Chains A and B, each alone.
Chain A
Amino acid sequence: MTVSEAAPILELQGLNKSYGALHVTKDVSLTVRRGEIHALIGPNGAGKTTLIGQISGSIAPNSGAIVFAGEDVSSLGVAQRARKGLGRSFQITAILPAFSVLENVALAVQAKDGHSFRFFKRASSDAELNNRAKVYLEMVGMTARAGLRAGDLSHGEKRVLEVAIALAGGPKLMLLDEPMAGTGPEETERLVTVLHGLKAKIPMLLIEHDMSAVFQLADRISVLVYGEIIASGAPEDIRRDPAVREAYLGGESDL
């Protein structure tokens, strides 16, 4: 069975979203298959983050359906979808700044365990919890920073922590909203390596402006312009597509 024949992990069916007169999502249909990284690119304000919001459940679409792992999750809340295996990183860093790096990841691990109505055992000396969390820190190369207050990390490190938190939830699909935005070259490279190594296990919908990262990682690319998907296909086809070059890059480009 090749990747392209595998059942999709995520299927968007005709999503629409308007803010007043502004139609930010226009009849968007898209699939993410198991084992692939599907990149979503598009100019600023195209509606990428809004789309991620609808998939994760924080924004309600006006119409359309979201099928995740074979189940229509359109009516579920954010937390419910997350528990079903939708992991997410935010474009605007959303970590818990007063917690340590390890605690940030441990909280995501603990969320996966089901309810958190455990009142008496001290979480910081819960070896089992911490060891599981450390695996993810190791994965993204942040072990040395485990004890640091997350708010004190550099911007690039916070972006990496975002990804570690999303990973720690043990997702069946990750929605990554510009994970490399504002990271230094070293962190970008680290993230590319990490994501590349994971994609067989965890399919991803990746929003990214860094084209070199996109072309290194993506199996398929969709291009969103003014809320509409104008092209979708293999990276090579997208690179050559004249409509994409026109709409997205104004003609001249090094795509």
Chain B
Amino acid sequence: MMTRRLTAVGLPAALFVVLALVPLYAGVFDDRFVLLFATRILIFAIVAVSLDFILGYGEMVSFGHAAYIGLGAYAVGILAEHDVWAAWISFPLAMAVCALFALVTGAISLRTRGVYFIMITLAFGQMAYYTTTSLSAYGGDDGLTMWGRSELFGTGLFNGDTSFYYIVFGVLLASYLILKVMTRSRFGRVLEGAKQNEARMEAIGIDPYRYRLTAFVLAGTIAGLAGALMANQAEFVSPAYMSWHRSGELIVMVILGGMGHLHGAILGAIAYMVLEETLSGYTEHWRLIFGPLLILIVLYGKGGLLGAIRGR
């Protein structure tokens, strides 16, 4: 009981404290790489948290979640191409585009269940991917380079390594807290209840569809916000952001960390990115190692990192 309370509150708190201290570490050891790498990780962590919200709590195995990163990024990139740099325009727009895409594709996908849902979200993800590859005016296959970063009311906060890191950190923290609160609300109970027994939910008068769709749109919107950050971080957007491999990796992050806790997704994102970085340091063919590793994790590593920490 004690340890459960500790891991439920203490672990995420400790995690965020450590993450908040990264720029300090980078400053003391003059390690810019760590700061940039951590920024990238946290952006993925935002996406992974949003995916865990629908996957872990709502059992919606979305295999097209990377599409939102790309859509959010393209919204920012295309606006920049037209010389619109103001974040207060581009960020809400990125989120709105993603919300709309999630609303339309989710409304159709959620009419189906199980494996149909997996395949359909995958297919819609591919649709977004191929659509951007055919945007010849915006670089097509090659992507689009941004010649700068978004502007936040003339502050230039997006340009400093440390300030940008804290923006990303803030978005992650806010996303985590908002979603966490929601999972405990009446809304969250409906999501979790529908996952456990849909027939029971309907018999008490709750049709899970609208609630699932709401969660789906919310997750897409948050992932889109992360995409907008990603465009700024890389100063480049390309269709590769939304390849289905990326969607697969996002699911891996969630499972690797331990799904259905939200902070597990953050741990998973960190672990995945560090693993990728380390393995690819040894060999460019790191997938040769990671592929079998993933299979082993699926077969024998139930509960992910959080499961291991709890020492079940």
Q: Which of A80, A95, A123, A168 contacts B188 (CB 8 A)?
A: A123
CB-CB contacts of B12-35 with A at 8 A, as 1s and 0s?
000000000000000000000000
Instruction: Check A88 against B203 for contact (C-beta < 8 Å).
Output: yes
A245–B35 Cα distance when bound, in Å, is 83
Min Cβ gap A60→B in Å is 14
CB-CB contacts of B191-230 with A at 8 A, as 1s and 0s?
0110011011111111100010010000000000000000
Q: Which of B185, B197, B207, B211 contacts A94 (CB 8 A)?
A: B197
A95–B204 Cα distance when bound, in Å, is 11
Q: Which of A88, A99, A107, A121 contacts B185 (CB 8 A)?
A: A121
Instruction: Check B204 against A82 for contact (C-beta < 8 Å).
Output: yes
Instruction: Check A123 against B185 for contact (C-beta < 8 Å).
Output: yes
Instruction: Check B192 against A95 for contact (C-beta < 8 Å).
Output: no
Interface locus among A15-23, A110-118, A193-201, A215-223: A110-118
For the complex, is B236 an interface residue (Cβ under 8 Å from A)?
no
For the complex, is A79 an interface residue (Cβ under 8 Å from B)?
yes
Instruction: Check A124 against B184 for contact (C-beta < 8 Å).
Output: yes
New contact pairs (8) apart from A96-B196, A165-B204, A166-B203, CB-CB < 8 Å: A83-B205, A90-B199, A96-B193, A99-B189, A116-B190, A119-B185, A119-B187, A120-B181
CB-CB contacts of A84-107 with B at 8 A, as 1s and 0s?
000110100011111100010011
For the complex, is B100 an interface residue (Cβ under 8 Å from A)?
no
For the complex, is B186 an interface residue (Cβ under 8 Å from A)?
yes
Instruction: Check B203 against A116 for contact (C-beta < 8 Å).
Output: no
A119–B211 Cα distance when bound, in Å, is 11
Instruction: Check B186 against A94 for contact (C-beta < 8 Å).
Output: no
For the complex, is A77 an interface residue (Cβ under 8 Å from B)?
yes
Instruction: Check B203 against A118 for contact (C-beta < 8 Å).
Output: no
Within 8 A of A (CB), among B164-194: 181-182, 184-190, 192-193
A98–B196 Cα distance when bound, in Å, is 7
Q: Which of A97, A111, A121 contacts B204 (CB 8 A)?
A: A111
A110–B206 Cα distance when bound, in Å, is 9
Q: Which of A82, A90, A106 contacts B205 (CB 8 A)?
A: A82
Instruction: Check A110 against B189 for contact (C-beta < 8 Å).
Output: yes
Instruction: Check A95 against B185 for contact (C-beta < 8 Å).
Output: no
A: contact size bracket: 35 or more
Q: Point out which of B185, B192, B207 has the most chain A C-beta atoms below 10 A from its C-beta.
A: B185
Instruction: Check B200 against A95 for contact (C-beta < 8 Å).
Output: yes
For the complex, is A146 an interface residue (Cβ under 8 Å from B)?
no
Instruction: Check A96 against B185 for contact (C-beta < 8 Å).
Output: no
Q: Which of A98, A118, A120, A165 contacts B200 (CB 8 A)?
A: A165
A120–B206 Cα distance when bound, in Å, is 19
Closest to B194 in A: A96
Instruction: Check B204 against A118 for contact (C-beta < 8 Å).
Output: no
Min Cβ gap B56→A in Å is 12
Instruction: Check A78 against B187 for contact (C-beta < 8 Å).
Output: no
Chain A residues within CB distance 8 Å of chain B:
56, 58, 77-80, 82-83, 87-88, 90, 94-99, 103, 106-108, 110-112, 116-124, 126, 129, 165-166, 168-169
B182 surroundings in chain A (CB, below 8 A)? 119-120
Q: Which of B196, B201, B207 contacts A77 (CB 8 A)?
A: B207
Instruction: Check A82 against B200 for contact (C-beta < 8 Å).
Output: no
Closest to B190 in A: A116
Could you list 9 A-B pairs, sorted by A, with CB under 8 Å?
A58-B199, A79-B202, A82-B202, A87-B203, A96-B196, A96-B200, A99-B192, A110-B189, A122-B185
Q: Point out which of B181, B187, B204 has the most chain A C-beta atoms below 10 A from its C-beta.
A: B204
Q: Which of B181, B185, B205 contacts A112 (CB 8 A)?
A: B205
A110 surroundings in chain B (CB, below 8 A)? 186, 189
Min Cβ gap B167→A in Å is 24
Q: Point out which of A98, A112, A129, A166 has the most chain B C-beta atoms below 10 A from its C-beta.
A: A98
A99 surroundings in chain B (CB, below 8 A)? 189, 192-193, 196
Instruction: Check B189 against A123 for contact (C-beta < 8 Å).
Output: yes
Instruction: Check B205 against A169 for contact (C-beta < 8 Å).
Output: yes
Instruction: Check A117 against B207 for contact (C-beta < 8 Å).
Output: no
Min Cβ gap B96→A in Å is 19
Q: Which of A78, A83, A97, A116 contacts B186 (CB 8 A)?
A: A116
Q: A107-B189, A120-B181, A120-B185 are in contact. Are A95 and B197 (CB under 8 A)?
A: yes
Q: Point out which of B201, B205, B206 has the most chain A C-beta atoms below 10 A from its C-beta.
A: B205
A58–B199 Cα distance when bound, in Å, is 9
Q: Which of B181, B186, B196, B207 contacts A79 (CB 8 A)?
A: B207
A117 surroundings in chain B (CB, below 8 A)? 187, 211, 214
Q: Point out which of A90, A94, A124 has the most chain B C-beta atoms below 10 A from its C-beta.
A: A94
Instruction: Check A111 against B206 for contact (C-beta < 8 Å).
Output: yes
- The 10 closest A-B CB pairs, nearest first, are A82-B205, A79-B207, A78-B202, A83-B205, A94-B200, A96-B196, A118-B186, A108-B204, A111-B204, A111-B205
B193 surroundings in chain A (CB, below 8 A)? 96, 99, 107
Instruction: Check A116 against B207 for contact (C-beta < 8 Å).
Output: no
